[in-house]
Structure 1
């Protein structure tokens, strides 16, 4: 029942509403009467009405800031004025009132009313309405449930990507991987065989793992786009049908390598050369199909050729070289190892006339004579300077010259190189056994850019060539590689000045010479002086010098230990942090010692200097004990016992923690006893 209070009708609901109120009797005390009046002033005409049942199942939780502390809440407030404009008072029981924690309404006291009105009973009120959880909404407010969201379509990122980006993604795959990926779908197949991905085709890495038909199909598909082709060793191309596919497809080659493609048909090779007039680099080494007619076709159809390799082509001779040199004016690199006919003066005149060659490889050309070599450098009957007794000709542009195993060359022919090859950087004269110091002295004195010098198996060379000429030559600060192996007359007197002055040396081969321990000591000192040191503890050094000294009878284990000690040296400066080397020496020595040396080098290269120093110390103890055990005289049993103990310690150190490693190391140590 809505009770109007000052024009305001308020309906509330409560879980427990008193149905009867004790009416004060006339005999009641004045205190009881005043209490009843105060109750009437607080709440008059307020009655609880249950909330709408339709909102009881929405499940909306009550706000945490609601001011109502009990289970009842305010459901509806009506601001409509009453018809009579009077106020009907009423009151609640104070036991479980819904407004016990709510501020009361200011209602003026009503005189003459002492009996409170009974609350109105609401009909058709369900039991669930006594405990509402939400507030009643106006009837004009409609509740609409959200519609179910439609599933979003997945974004096809690959299809939306530009074709250029997709081709760039595939460009990171190798040819073997591209062939595998092409089997995923038709779209992938189209992109995998895009011409931009096959401008360079190198089959030398996987030719043995791919069937011949598949290789031919790849070349047929990508052939028009290939510019760099490497089929070195591909025996699958030997069949004439597959070779015809190669010739038909590849017409834009710039760099081509067919080295080792045996039984390649001669007409097929000629057609390939004719159809690729932009060839710049061509490698036909070891091909039986190459003849002098092939060289003629090259000279006629390859005007852009700069590099040509015809080494070990047995069915041609130097006459073909002559046609190529005269027909290809841009040729700079010519490799014709083991080609016959270089004794011809006409071929030598053609090479002299061009003067464009920078790299000339004639290794193994046994027909090359002193006269033909002089004609290549001086020309035929040049004008001679009266004062210097030297030919007046333009200097040659040669930067690398390989005359290894040209057995007919002597001092008379090799001397012609002196003062006419100022740009020479690499010279190989291995196996020219007739050469002496006189042939090399003018060359070393006039080549300030020389970095590689190979004089292997020149038994007539002496220490004076190294100590008086090479150690004082203009190229002494730039020399990086020196090979004097099997020069049996060379010893410490010649090698020591070279190692001391050639501070840029990176490798030196002096096996089967008379070099001794002083050479190794000087090499360690040279590297120590040029290499910087670092205080970084975890620094991993690099190999700065490679020495080959096996079969040198004068080198002992003490010289080897000097190199190992330098490699693992940690310097403790006073008042500063320890420093570590940044360059070490890689050593190749006797077979019995090589395993220990390699193990020591591996530890140094990974920065484990303490372990390397321990291995070097125990190996030195072992070698010293072995020497003592071999000495005659008193105490031989004691010395042999010490040798066995040192051998076990060294084997355990080198073999590691595993038992198998110990057994291998002990076997190696036993082999060292022989040395």
Structure 2
């Protein structure tokens, strides 16, 4: 054994001398020859696991030695890290050295990188010997019990490496490195282990080292340039030539399962140029895809759209639909809080308010995107297609709304659309129609209301096409259309059986025959017309048969307008409420019949006949300008209209006398409005009938008070026989009286003062008295009442901008120093000749102010132009009256001594 140790030491010294002769410049760190130890101490600190390979043991002892190592071994470690502590902290591996693995002639240049290999395990005889020791101080070596090695990856049992605790190396003095003696074997290539963690792939290996993150310092030192010396061979991957354990729970990926990690590892491309100092061939950076874009491009900013991406469609539609409600509420609040003025209403920005403004905003929202366009034109928003405020609406937009809304539309109002053509109306009807799936009948719409008033360009065919497909129609307004004929009434009777409101006034091609056919069609079916409101103003050829058929077929009528029916006479009115002996009460439908004597029916006293009258439900009856009527028609209506509230008998003339009116007024206790314009034959008896009887002083205190008169509006213009006393009694007795039109009468100043005072005491809003052509009072009286009156009933809207109402909220009343606030509901409207003079004075003042502003602006512009031309202020042109002229003034005359200048 001693001879073998000496032989190895001499061979090691010869190799070092030969390498020193071949290396140039500063050489790398080299190991110091270790003498053989004595045979008396066969074990050292590293001999823990029993028998092991002598070369591997020698390599590990050299790695932890503070002396220099061989050139091929020292290239793995930094020359600065020479202490045992640094050797432990850095990821280092045990090396093996064989003199036969390095050729003698290769000392320069960089060797080719060798493929990564693991050292094979070699089992050699356990022979330890120490020739001598060069360590600084001796150390007491304790030999622990043999156990599993933390360095061996595959060896088990006694051939495993010994466990090495870092704390033992730090706290105890450095032990002398052992000299491993083994019999000479065949030469094998040098193999390096990269790091300690690479040996931990075996499930049986348990390392006690805490290794830091891999560093590139060793690699930079490895590949540095040497002067005249060959670069050492870089380390190779520890996984080459061996199986890689990617199982779950291993040190590589304890959080992953076998299949997922294996798939990811197998799908990765070949790793090129990877740092060999890392313990594991897969890095987190290898799993991140490489970006091929330009790194200098700005990162796009994605704004999350909560409205389109989060909210459901129904909620988004509800939000847009609530926009209409919000606009209507804002306008109502502005009116209630007094923020709505005439100037604001006259502004072009406030041309559309409330619902009309909301519709315009919705159409603008449709330009945002296609998704918003679908939401805006959703049928739930356009259920009420009211386009009355947009008479110039394009055809394309109307068709688009109709096609998008479809059968959702319930009402359509295009009043005033004079450009609406027949083809457009037919297309709109087809868009709003839906085919019947169950019965397979003709298509129909869900329209319940149609208003075509003023659409004079449509034809009869297009109108009938719309009516035939509108089976659920309840309200129909065709006022003033020449397309309406008697055939239209036949179509309405067949297809529109649910009509409640029908307006056929002023239709020139319609006569009484169409209305009679409408009534007879319903009677032939054994049904009643469901009409509650029928307006037939200006109907031609009205006779008794038509009125009798209408009275029997429409017992539910509440509003009947027969104004300007020239052929209507008293017998036709009687036929409307008369009934035959075969007619009986219909309690199921709420119809009843009353029997009147001759006196109650307005007949002569000598007659003993009984007259049967049908009790109607009329609340509003208009017979104005029916020139053939007399007060006898009022007698025929007595006891037949007990719930009548509005009675219009204007324009009849002197044929309307007191007898028939009194008989009718005595049977209408709910009358609120009475229009007797141009009824010059009426007297104070009519007013006395309308005035409730005042309670007498002799009545008992517990007696019930007399019923209050419901009269609110009375028109007696042209009644020359009415006295001031009757008017005063009416004003004092009718507590609800708000409007009194008594122009062209003998009304005096007392009546005017009494009405103004009473209205203010009762706090009546928008009270009004008309006293035009009443010569009983003059301008002085109006000036005395100026604090509580106004000349006109003003209203704030864009349509009233041409009337120029004076509004105190705009602050214009104090500027003009004349006129009254015409929009104050607390002031009483007094319409007189002198009131119109006040209106003219206000208009004149506005015109003067406008001209003054224009003149001032012209003077300022002219002055600025003179200053720009270099002419001084003293050279301006002055008019003889001392007033500055406008821009048309002649230029200033420059001073000259050449004589007179002719202008």
Q: TM-score, normalised by structure 1?
A: 0.60
Q: 1:110-149 to 2 correspondence within 5 Å?
A: none
Alpha-carbon separation, structure 2, partners of 1:203 and 1:364: 30
Higher relative contact order (CA 8 A, sep 6+): 2
- Evaluate the alpha carbon distance shift between residue 475 and residue 307 of structure 1 in structure 2; reply closer, same or farther with a 3 A threshold: farther
2:773 matches 1:551: yes
Structure 1 match to 2:371? 187
Structure 1 match to 2:578? 378
Q: 1:290-309 to 2 correspondence within 5 Å?
A: 290-309=484-503
Q: Alpha-carbon deviations, 1:512-544, whole Å to 9, x = none?
A: 22111011111123124323xxxxxxxxxx844
Structure 2 match to 1:289? 483
Alpha-carbon separation, structure 2, partners of 1:529 and 1:333: 37
Structure 1 match to 2:738? 506
2:394 matches 1:220: no
Structure 2 match to 1:3? none
The structure with the largest alpha-carbon Rg is 2
Structure 1 match to 2:658? 437
1:271 is paired with a residue whose SS is: helix
User: Alpha-carbon deviation of 1:233?
Assistant: 1.7
Structure 2 match to 1:426? 646
- Evaluate the alpha carbon distance shift between residue 558 and residue 444 of structure 1 in structure 2; reply closer, same or farther with a 3 A threshold: farther
Q: 1:521-670 to 2 correspondence within 5 Å?
A: 521-531=753-763, 543-565=765-787, 567=788, 585-587=789-791, 603=808, 660=849
2:370 matches 1:170: no
Structure 1 match to 2:383? 199
- Evaluate the alpha carbon distance shift between residue 182 and residue 588 of structure 1 in structure 2; reply closer, same or farther with a 3 A threshold: closer
2:559 matches 1:359: yes
Structure 2 match to 1:130? none
Q: Alpha-carbon deviations, 1:265-286, whole Å to 9, x = none?
A: 2222112111110000001111
- Evaluate the alpha carbon distance shift between residue 615 and residue 416 of structure 1 in structure 2; reply closer, same or farther with a 3 A threshold: closer
1:347 to 533, 536, 547: 547
Alpha-carbon separation, structure 2, partners of 1:600 and 1:560: 19
Answer whether contact 2:412 2:449 (CA < 8 A) is retained: yes
- Evaluate the alpha carbon distance shift between residue 475 and residue 270 of structure 1 in structure 2; reply closer, same or farther with a 3 A threshold: farther
User: Alpha-carbon deviation of 1:661?
Assistant: 8.9
Structure 2 residue ranges without an equivalent (≥5): 1-210, 214-298, 325-357, 433-444, 523-527, 584-593, 602-610, 694-705, 794-802, 821-840, 854-903
Alpha-carbon separation, structure 2, partners of 1:659 and 1:362: 48
- Evaluate the alpha carbon distance shift between residue 279 and residue 286 of structure 1 in structure 2; reply closer, same or farther with a 3 A threshold: same
2:468 matches 1:312: no
Structural RMSD (CA): 4.0
Structure 1 match to 2:672? 451
Structure 1 consecutive aligned stretches of length 4 or more whose deviation exceeds 6 Å? 598-601, 605-616, 661-664
Alpha-carbon separation, structure 2, partners of 1:305 and 1:377: 22
User: Alpha-carbon deviation of 1:659?
Assistant: 7.8
Structure 2 match to 1:33? none
2:414 matches 1:231: yes
User: Alpha-carbon deviation of 1:352?
Assistant: 3.8
Alpha-carbon separation, structure 2, partners of 1:248 and 1:151: 48
User: Alpha-carbon deviation of 1:426?
Assistant: 0.3
Answer whether contact 1:515 1:552 (CA < 8 A) is retained: yes
Alpha-carbon separation, structure 1, partners of 2:501 and 2:464: 18
Larger deviation, residues 437-446 vs 217-226? 217-226
Alpha-carbon separation, structure 2, partners of 1:244 and 1:282: 17
Answer whether contact 1:325 1:331 (CA < 8 A) is retained: no
Q: 1:255-294 to 2 correspondence within 5 Å?
A: 255-294=449-488
2:480 is paired with a residue whose SS is: coil
Q: TM-score, normalised by structure 2?
A: 0.45
Answer whether contact 2:547 2:573 (CA < 8 A) is retained: no
User: Alpha-carbon deviation of 1:488?
Assistant: 3.1
Structure 1 match to 2:535? 335
2:306 to 125, 143, 157: 157
2:613 is paired with a residue whose SS is: coil
2:248 matches 1:248: no
- Evaluate the alpha carbon distance shift between residue 475 and residue 283 of structure 1 in structure 2; reply closer, same or farther with a 3 A threshold: farther
Structure 2 match to 1:497? 729
Alpha-carbon separation, structure 2, partners of 1:215 and 1:600: 35
Alpha-carbon separation, structure 2, partners of 1:557 and 1:393: 52
User: Alpha-carbon deviation of 1:420?
Assistant: 2.0
- Evaluate the alpha carbon distance shift between residue 247 and residue 613 of structure 1 in structure 2; reply closer, same or farther with a 3 A threshold: closer
Larger deviation, residues 176-185 vs 358-367? 176-185
2:502 is paired with a residue whose SS is: strand
Q: How many residues align?
A: 450
Q: Alpha-carbon deviations, 1:235-255, whole Å to 9, x = none?
A: 2322x3212202212211101
Alpha-carbon separation, structure 2, partners of 1:267 and 1:287: 13
Alpha-carbon separation, structure 2, partners of 1:387 and 1:485: 32
Q: Alpha-carbon deviations, 1:39-67, whole Å to 9, x = none?
A: xxxxxxxxxxxxxxxxxxxxxxxxxxxxx
Answer whether contact 1:600 1:612 (CA < 8 A) is retained: no
More helix by share: 1
Answer whether contact 1:655 1:662 (CA < 8 A) is retained: no
User: Alpha-carbon deviation of 1:385?
Assistant: 4.0
Q: Alpha-carbon deviations, 1:275-316, whole Å to 9, x = none?
A: 110000001111111111110110111121100000011111
User: Alpha-carbon deviation of 1:613?
Assistant: 11
Alpha-carbon separation, structure 2, partners of 1:562 and 1:366: 46
User: Alpha-carbon deviation of 1:554?
Assistant: 1.2
User: Alpha-carbon deviation of 1:380?
Assistant: 5.3
Q: Alpha-carbon deviations, 1:167-203, whole Å to 9, x = none?
A: 1222225333322221221111111111101101111
Structure 2 match to 1:397? 617
Structure 1 residue ranges without an equivalent (≥5): 1-139, 143-149, 532-541, 568-584, 590-597, 617-650, 665-675
